Amino acid sequence: MSEKKTPIKFDPELCLKCETTACLMNCQYIDFADRGEARAEKLKINDGKDSRVLHECLTCYACQEYCPFGNNPFFLIVDRQEEQGILPAPKPIVTEQLRMMGFKDRLVKQAVAGPVVDMCAFPMLTGCVRGKLFEGASVIVGTDIFCNIMWLHFAKNSTIRDRVPRAIGNIMHYYLEDAGISELICFHDECYGTYTSVADAYGIEVPFKPIHQFDYYNQRLDKLKDHIKPLNVKIAYQRPCSNRLCPETDKALDEIFEKIGAERVPRKHDRKTALCCGGVPRAHQRDEFADTLVEKNINDMLKTGATYCVFNCPFCMATLGQEVAEQGLMPILVSDLIQIALGD
Amino acid sequence: MQHEEILHRCFRCGYCKLPGNYTDINCPAYLSFRFETYSPGGRMWLLRAWLDKKIDAGARFAEIMFACATCGNCVEHCAFPEFRDRILLAFTAGKDALLEAGCAPPAVRDLLTKLQNYGNAYGKPVKKYGEWAEGLDLPVFSDQEYLFFTDDVGTWDPRGRDMARSVAQLLKTAGVSFGIIPEGLRSDGNDAGAMGETALLEDLAKKNIDVLRKYNVQKIITLSPHSLNTLKKDYPGFGGNYQVFHYTQVLAFAMGRLTFSENPPPVKIAYHDPCYLGRHNTDYESARMMLRATPGVTLVEMDRSRKNTLCCGGGGGNFFTDLLSGGDDSSARVRVREAADAGADILAVACPMCAVMLEDAMKVENLDASLRVMDVSEIVLERVGQGDC
Amino acid sequence: MTSDLIARLGKIVGPRFVSGEAEERYLYSMDQGTMPPAVPDAVVMPADTEEVRQVVALANELKVPVVPMGAGLVLSGLTRALKGGIIVDMKRMNHIIEVNPKSRYVVVEGGASQGMLQAYLKKHHPDLKHSMPDAPPIATLAGNVCIHGSGHLSVLGGSHSDMLTGMEVVLPTGEVVRTGSCSVSDGWFARSPLPDLSGLFMGWSGTTGIVTKLGIKLFPKYRHNDVLVFVAEDADLMPEIIYRLTSTQVAEDMTPWMTPKPDWARGFLHINIAYGAHTKKELIFKRNLLQASVREYADQKIAGFLPLPPPQKGRFLKIPSPDLARFADLRKGGGFEYVGAIMAIEKFADAYRAGLEIAEKYQVSYSLGARIIGAGHCMMFFFAYAFNRADAEDVRRASDALEATNTAALEMGGIPWKAEEPAQKQIIEKMDPETFALMEKIRSILDPNGIMNPGNWEKK
């Protein structure tokens, strides 16, 4: 596999010229004595040498956003971890999940009409696609179209290279091709990240145009503006790791909140300093650290006086939702919050 | 036999015998008889054995099959997904096969004969269908929004009639636009179908559909959840398409139009979910909404409520055939004891069969000094101020 | 004779609760497992101890066998009337007689079900619970104790027979006796310090008497409950992993499971570890202890805990787990049976491999697993085989696999649990002859007419 693989789009020269080492200096989980140390570790990574970063990385994707040159530092870390056999999680955990999320080859061609919403591997969430917001939408779902980005957390770039093209092929063959549809609404921004950022960096061809859920919602809300009853609520937003791959969409989210009368309260752990929900570290067997992340996130939210904790990522919601609810905040997905404003 | 292929799949694990919270036996036939044979699993295995000629169709087997009250507890709590949706269908098919084989308990035969010959379980002339409403001055259905449809019990049984009259009065008081059809309607056919007599259900349904067509009925309020069930689920197959509501479903949203008398005495009410409104049609809220909106009422819940409700024992024709009575643990008797244990002053019902069954049981259990069985509309009506509408 | 028997039984329990009809005789002739049917003459359902006593007295008079039955869910055919006679279905005697919260015990009648006790405690004593087996909730407490069952508190409290505090039993000759503290005092708090006569009635497959009342231990019910799922790939590591996890003295229940379905699970060895706490802080502390005990494996990346978000834990926390009953639907044929071998934990890998080999050889749908009993003192290792009851060939394959498994378990030094009649004979073959002679001596004293569930624990 390693001989044949297309290298990650990464320019070492660009990295050498960098004067900030922002990728590692901004990291919220690994401490460096100074920029010199961070730079030294980064160079080790670039050169394919062992680095403590490869062992300590929380796999939160944030360095992808911090890099001022779009030079894919995180994707490179994952490549290096895999090349060096550094496993963030125990092997059976990874192998079992690889099987769990593998292709089931159960798809049959299904007539779809636009807008086509990709619900990825979250069949339990298909009920979210309803009402005026998703009027006329078709939903596609299942592990056979799983975006497979999760393997970034498990040093499995090889799986991404292997499975993503096949998932894309399935989406085209079973759904989009026959319908002549060229756009795909990504309900989860992990999918959007896969079909934009990952595909670009890994050299994977994407024959359709991925549309981020926030862009879709904005466009719908403009059309439905007469139906909006402003919520007048304060919300704390839990920004997920996947959004680091498409930071430009965060502005679109602000627009959404404004349109529906939700005030995104400033919190320490939002935007660039968003903290991991704690889900992935548990897979890495770092439960105690995950506990501190949960605690920090929730304490930070509670300080803001928000009523809702709004999630973009369903996995973050599964991880944090119960805890958030026990602390008196209502956990809700962005789309469901919009549904409330639309009275659906 | 239809659904024959699922019979052997039952493991007889017994989840079907209990409610979801396991408080006590919740299958009426098993509760009353206690032999494994009378449990849903027993029925499954015996049907298989009969088809395999390992047992003969005799009186005992017929009693076992027809004692099923079709309450749906087994469907609700069976551990096997999908399979469970077919349990009652298999029992109905089994009863059909037993009837074909000429093997039915005498009481079942009598009931079916009456339904066949008279169009109702009481052997009454269809011309007198509207007798229950005498003196109420209810309009004959013409251009009102709803038809108010009473089942056999509401039409002919004295207790059932009281309930039908009360519901009609409350509908009137709440300003609901409705009329009645004074003659020609038959039994809704729900229990005929549940006893496996699908041809009889079809016959009754088609005759009713003819009458409903003459009156150009579009929307129906039923007194009985059994009627609701069959009108909604079976009649469309025979060409009768209506919007059907149980009376609580209409009244729940009309409560705000009622004026209640001041300072009503406080009362604790336990609501008995009827199987055909609850488990069969998943409405656990309408009646409770009505009760909650009634001044002075405190709702108390019995251990077995909503999906876990204990059937009164009247379903599947048992109201008329009485196969489930005879022991101390008929489900109606157990149910009134449970209501008393919950500290209720009133056991509220929303089905005329439940009203009759539970009121009788209350007397047998000597609970009539401390407990009243009242239909939800009767409770509300008692607290509505005089002369308001 | 049969009509006379029915009439006389009817006088004892009332005609409504006795039957010699073909329907009852057919259904009570078998259970869900693979054992062939054995038809009783009558089924009777007594309402109290006195009625049980009278039934047993009548059976002695008529020299008719008596077979006690709880829910009949043993799967190994122990409630079949091997030599005809009367099946005594105990489920009308299902009352919960007394809960003593301070000494944490409950006294129930012999037909009381697991589910009803669970519901009763939830309502009346929300801070107490008992150890539920994974049998369906209609299974009886007495039946499960009498077969040395185990359940959701077995790491904490041992097997369910270890949780017994006393019994009331109708002897085969009709006397009503009590064992444990209740034979001396009003309380049912302990079996000690008396000669432990309860042992005369546990593991005997209903051949020594009918249990009409029993006391069992209750345990604190936690407000916060959690489950961890540990995953490994190497069966040889399992005894050490179990040793380390149990050494923390934190788990209430530990159940390894190895199944080929769903596909992703095939080849992996999982251990569900259930534990609870009064506070969240305590819960996390306990989790940390459990995780620390096996940290070495996680650090070596050879085993670890599955990351399960809270919503995914619900099914693992459901007690009893309906998954067990659902296994019967695996072949869409309503049947499964298992060999549950009580064995030493160091035999885990041997048992696992034997299970895989047998499943392969007999081409049966299988599920393997275990329940750890005590702080890693032994385990009930189960080899479950699903079959289609409508397919005689499938039933035969399962039956052959079960027989081979019993043999394999005995060869590994394990002992088939709640053994079916042929397996009892296999056990007797391996048993110290003096031990079996003592068993026979005891039975001849207790049951001179040989009426109690005859055909069980017999050499020939």
Q: Look over chain A and give the mean of its residue pLDDT values, rounded to a whole number.
A: 96
Using CA coordinates, name the residue in chain A closest to C307.
Answer: A283
Do the Cβ atoms of B347 and B148 come closer than 8 Å?
A: no
Could you give the CA distance from residue C181 to residue C214 in angstroms, rounded to a whole number?
11
Decide if A285 and C291 are in contact by the 8 Å CB cutoff.
Answer: yes
pLDDT at C311: 84
Do the Cβ atoms of B60 and B46 come closer than 8 Å?
A: no
pLDDT digits (tens, 9 = 90+) for C355-412: 999 999 999 999 999 999 999 999 999 999 999 999 999 999 999 999 999 999 999 9
Which sign does the torsion angle of CA B299, B303, B305, B309 carry? Answer: negative
pLDDT at C1: 57
pLDDT at B126: 86
Decide if C19 and B22 are in contact by the 8 Å CB cutoff.
Answer: no
How close A334 gets to chain C, by Cα (Å)?
19
Residue with tokens 């005997």: C204
Chain A residues whose beta carbon lies within 8 Å of the beta carbon of residue C291: 285, 287
pLDDT digits (tens, 9 = 90+) for C283-319: 999 999 999 999 999 999 999 999 998 888 988 999 9
Kindly state whether B64 is in contact with chain C, defined as any CB-CB distance less than 8 angstroms: yes
pLDDT at B387: 42
Do the Cβ atoms of B187 and B121 come closer than 8 Å?
A: yes
Query: Beta-strand (E) ranges in A255-313?
Result: 262-264, 308-311
CA nearest B360: which of B321, B313, B323? B313
Contacts of B338 (CB under 8 A, 6+ apart): B302, B303, B304, B310
Using CA coordinates, name the residue in chain B closest to C47.
Answer: B34
Q: Look over chain B and give the mean of its residue pLDDT values, rounded to a whole number.
A: 96
Give the up-direction half-sphere exposure of residue C378: CA atoms within 13 A in the CB hemisphere.
Answer: 16
Chain A residues whose beta carbon lies within 8 Å of the beta carbon of residue C311: 318, 321-322
Do the Cβ atoms of A161 and A144 come closer than 8 Å?
A: no
Kindly state whether C231 is in contact with chain A, defined as any CB-CB distance less than 8 angstroms: yes
Chain C residues whose beta carbon lies within 8 Å of the beta carbon of residue A323: 310
Nearest residue, CB atoms, C309 vs list A102, A287, A318: A318
How close A321 gets to chain C, by Cα (Å)?
9
Nearest residue, CB atoms, A93 vs list C231, C311, C312: C231
pLDDT at A37: 97
Using CA coordinates, name the residue in chain C closest to A323.
Answer: C310
Runs of H (alpha helix) within chain B: 28-33, 40-51, 59-66, 73-77, 87-100, 106-118, 152-156, 158-173, 190-194, 198-214, 225-233, 247-251, 286-292, 318-321, 331-341, 352-364, 376-383
How close A48 gets to chain C, by Cα (Å)?
22
Neighbours of chain A (3+ CB pairs under 8 A): C
Could you give the CA distance from residue B344 to residue B335 in angstroms, rounded to a whole number?
12
- Whether A1 has a pLDDT exceeding 60, the answer reads no
Residue C162, number of CB atoms within 10 A of its CB: 18
Interface predicted TM-score (ipTM): 0.96
pLDDT digits (tens, 9 = 90+) for B287-324: 999 999 999 999 999 999 999 999 999 999 999 999 99
Kindly state the average pLDDT of the residues A178-186: 96
pLDDT digits (tens, 9 = 90+) for C32-58: 999 999 999 999 999 999 999 999 999
pLDDT digits (tens, 9 = 90+) for C251-288: 999 999 999 988 999 999 999 999 999 999 999 999 99
pLDDT band at C326 (very low <50, low <70, confident <90, very high): confident
Q: Please count the residues of chain C.
A: 460
Kindly state the average pLDDT of the residues C236-255: 98
Give the up-direction half-sphere exposure of residue B195: CA atoms within 13 A in the CB hemisphere.
Answer: 35
pLDDT band at A27 (very low <50, low <70, confident <90, very high): very high
CA nearest B77: which of B264, B288, B304? B304
pLDDT at A79: 97
Could you give the CA distance from residue A64 to residue A53 in angstroms, rounded to a whole number?
14
In the chain, the amino acid numbered C115 is G
Strands C164-170 and C210-217, by their bridges, are: antiparallel
In the chain, the amino acid numbered C113 is S
Kindly state whether C1 is in contact with chain B, defined as any CB-CB distance less than 8 angstroms: no
Kindly state the average pLDDT of the residues A129-135: 96
Give the up-direction half-sphere exposure of residue B218: CA atoms within 13 A in the CB hemisphere.
Answer: 5
pLDDT at C312: 87
Chain C residues whose beta carbon lies within 8 Å of the beta carbon of residue B300: none
Nearest residue, CB atoms, A288 vs list C288, C302, C303: C288
Residue with tokens 């807008």: A115
Q: Look over chain C and give the mean of its residue pLDDT values, rounded to a whole number.
A: 96
How close B321 gets to chain C, by Cα (Å)?
18
Kindly state whether B12 is in contact with chain C, defined as any CB-CB distance less than 8 angstroms: yes
- Whether A143 has a pLDDT exceeding 90, the answer reads yes
In the chain, the amino acid numbered A138 is S
Decide if C264 and A100 are in contact by the 8 Å CB cutoff.
Answer: yes
Using CA coordinates, name the residue in chain B closest to C337.
Answer: B11
Neighbours of chain B (3+ CB pairs under 8 A): C
Q: Pick from C27, C330, C387 the residue to mutate for testing the B interface (most B CBs within 10 Å).
A: C27
pLDDT at A2: 44
Decide if C390 and B61 are in contact by the 8 Å CB cutoff.
Answer: no
What are the structure tokens assigned to C439, written together? 């068993």
Kindly state the average pLDDT of the residues A324-333: 96
Q: Which residues of chain B have pLDDT under 50?
A: 387-389
Using DSSP, state whether B178 is helix, strand or coil: strand
HEC assignment per residue over chain C: CHHHHHHHHHHHHCHHHEECCHHHHHHCCCCCCCCCCCCCCEEECCCCHHHHHHHHHHHHHHCCCEEEECCCCCCCCCCCCECECEEEEHHHCCCEEEEECCCCEEEEECCCEHHHHHHHHHHHCCCEECCCCCCCCCCEHHHHHHCCCCCCCHHHHCCCCCCEEEEEEECCCCCEEEEEHHHCCCCCCCCCCCCCHHHHCCCCCCCCCEEEEEEEECEECCCEEEEEEEEECCHHHHHHHHHHHHHCCCCCEEEEEECCCCHHHCCCEEEEEEEEECCHHHHHHHHHHHHHHCHHHHHCCCEEECCCCHHHHHHHHCCCCCHHHHHCCCCCCEEEEEEEEEECHHHHHHHHHHHHHHHHHHCCEEEEEEEEECCCCEEEEEEEEEEECCCHHHHHHHHHHHHHHHHHHHHCCCEECCCCHHHHHHHHHHCCHHHHHHHHHHHHHHCCCCCECCCCCCCC
Query: Do C and B touch, counting CB pairs below 8 Å (3 needed)?
Result: yes
